[in-house]
Amino acid sequence: MRSYKIGVIKGDGIGPEIVDEAIKVLDAVASVEQINFDYEEFLLGGAAIDETGVPLPEETIQGVKKVDAVLFGAIGGPKWDTLERHLRPESGLLGLRKAMGTFANLRPATVYDELINASTLKPEVVKGVDIMVVRELTGGIYFGQPREYGEEKAYNTMVYTRPEVERIAKVAFEIAMKRDKRVCSVDKANVLEVSQFWRDIVEEVHRDYPEVELSHMYVDNAAMQLIRDPKQFDVILTGNIFGDILSDAASMLSGSIGLLPSASTGEGVGLFEPIHGSAPDIAGQGIANPIATIASASMMLRYALGEESAADRIDTAIKKALAEGYRTQDIAAFDAKEVVSTSEMGSIIADYAAK
């Protein structure tokens, strides 16, 4: 029996609802794969503020260093939006990513054949889309100093250092080597010095990967091209803020932001999280799509724990649930045989995963 310690951060809004379903599915595969999971919960975001007064308690920072991987839901909500910035849930998440050194956020945007009609785009445009967005996660304008919010002016600083760009570029090229060997680096080098620097260093790192085809694209064009012809992309390499925006856009190729998982990896323990937020507008209604979080648990098994067979089970179970016509509301507009709740979807996927 293989045994793993899993840190669990449920967070706010739909966070607890979707993480509970991912755990249900993990437990289902554990029983058939001879794996034992020990879960330890940590506080982050609004839930942490309510309990301890700060969005990122010291126990969370220390605790996540001692587990094999962390599964995370989402944080944030209107209740905490008026707090001072450093006390807001989002600052807690950014602090956690920094503390864990998870500089590489891998956001796969794939289209399930079963959901080909769920996208707002035409089936022929999205069928077969398989993009990996490699988003730099612990630098750029999110973290740059100085920053200020004043009476007369406010500013942030977009900064990247050589080692920061080198390491994320390497991640993108390594991933591309295992895929279609194409990297498109997205920046705003026609306007920003920091983007020209990014582009120069990506070119340098590329010299070690001659088999990979490298292209560069401005972010405004990239947003348009993602919608016009998404199949032109294999790996998209980009900075923190551009990756945030482009991955939300890419989610609509698949049909819903509730489908896209991610893996935040880097220096140590990895953080596995859906790309979406805490969806306060639908929290507590039992209608959130848990698939992004369940697929994040699958990425955790594959990338952090090396449990390929268990991960395959989950991915197959998700496809089976969709093939059988089970849909949460966000993807119910087309082809639904049955519209199900968050927990029903979790149970259906768990049942298939255990077979």
Q: Return the closest-CA partner of residue 30 out of 311, 291, 261.
A: 311
Q: Return the closest-CA partner of residue 184 out of 137, 243, 143.
A: 243
Give the x/- contact pattern for ligand IPM in 241-260, rule: CB under 6 A. ---x----------------
Is residue 94 a contact point for ligand IPM (CB under 6 A)? Answer: yes
How many Å apart are CA 126 and CA 256, to the nearest integer?
Answer: 13
Q: Return the closest-CA partner of residue 34 out of 253, 313, 233.
A: 313
244 annotated as belonging to a binding site for a ligand? yes
Whose tokens are 């490298």? That residue is 214
Distances (CA, A) of 253 to 108, 218, 223: 11, 20, 12
**Between residues 55 and 258, which has the closer beta carbon with respect to ligand NAD?**
258
* 175 alpha carbon, distance to own chain's centre: 16
Binding to ligand NAD, residues 127-166 (CB under 6 A): none
**Between residues 46 and 255, which has the closer beta carbon with respect to ligand IPM?**
46
**Between residues 69 and 275, which has the closer beta carbon with respect to ligand IPM?**
275
Is residue 236 a contact point for ligand IPM (CB under 6 A)? Answer: no
Is residue 275 a contact point for ligand IPM (CB under 6 A)? Answer: yes
**Between residues 192 and 249, which has the closer beta carbon with respect to ligand NAD?**
249
Is residue 234 a contact point for ligand NAD (CB under 6 A)? Answer: no
Q: Do 12 and 47 touch, CB atoms closer than 8 A?
A: yes
Task: State in angstroms the smallest separation of the CB of 125 from ligand NAD.
Answer: 21
Does an H or E element contain 353, and which?
Answer: helix 342-354
Q: Is 220 a catalytic residue?
A: yes
198 annotated as belonging to a binding site for a ligand? no
Q: Could you tell me the end-to-end alpha-carbon distance of the chain, in angstroms, rounded to an integer?
A: 19
The CB-nearest residue to ligand IPM is: 90
**Between residues 195 and 251, which has the closer beta carbon with respect to ligand IPM?**
251
| Token pair of 122 as six digits | 């035409």
Task: State in angstroms the smallest separation of the CB of 7 from ligand NAD.
Answer: 15
Is residue 244 a contact point for Mn ion (CB under 5 A)? Answer: yes
Bridge partners of 165, per DSSP, are: none
283 annotated as belonging to a binding site for a ligand? yes
79 annotated as belonging to a binding site for a ligand? yes
* Contact partner, 94, from ligand NAD, Mn ion, ligand IPM, none, Cβ < 5-8 Å per class: ligand IPM
How many Å apart are CA 142 and CA 237, to the nearest integer?
Answer: 17
Q: Return the closest-CA partner of residue 258 out of 228, 282, 236, 235.
A: 282
| Token pair of 271 as six digits | 């953080």
* Contact partner, 255, from ligand NAD, Mn ion, ligand IPM, none, Cβ < 5-8 Å per class: none
Among 167-175, 243-251, 323-331, 343-351, which window interacts with Mn ion (CB under 5 A)? 243-251
Q: What is the DSSP letter of 78?
A: G
161 annotated as belonging to a binding site for a ligand? no
Question: If you write DSSP's letter for every residue of 169-207 in order, what string do you get?
Answer: HHHHHHHHHTTTSEEEEEE-TTT-HHHHHHHHHHHHHHT
| Token pair of 57 as six digits | 């308690």
Region label for 330, one of left (φ > 0), alpha (ψ between -120 and 50) or beta (otherwise): alpha
Q: Do 27 and 88 touch, CB atoms closer than 8 A?
A: no
Q: Is 330 a catalytic residue?
A: no
Binding to ligand NAD, residues 257-296 (CB under 6 A): 257-258, 273, 276-282, 288-289, 292
Is residue 75 a contact point for ligand NAD (CB under 6 A)? Answer: yes
- Residues annotated as catalytic are 142, 188, 220, 244, 248
Residue numbers belonging to the annotated binding site: 77-90, 97, 107, 135, 220, 244, 248, 277-289
Under the rule (CB under 6 A), what is the footprint of ligand NAD?
14, 18, 74-77, 90, 93, 257-258, 273, 276-282, 288-289, 292, 330
Under the rule (CB under 6 A), what is the footprint of ligand IPM?
76, 90, 93-94, 244, 275, 277
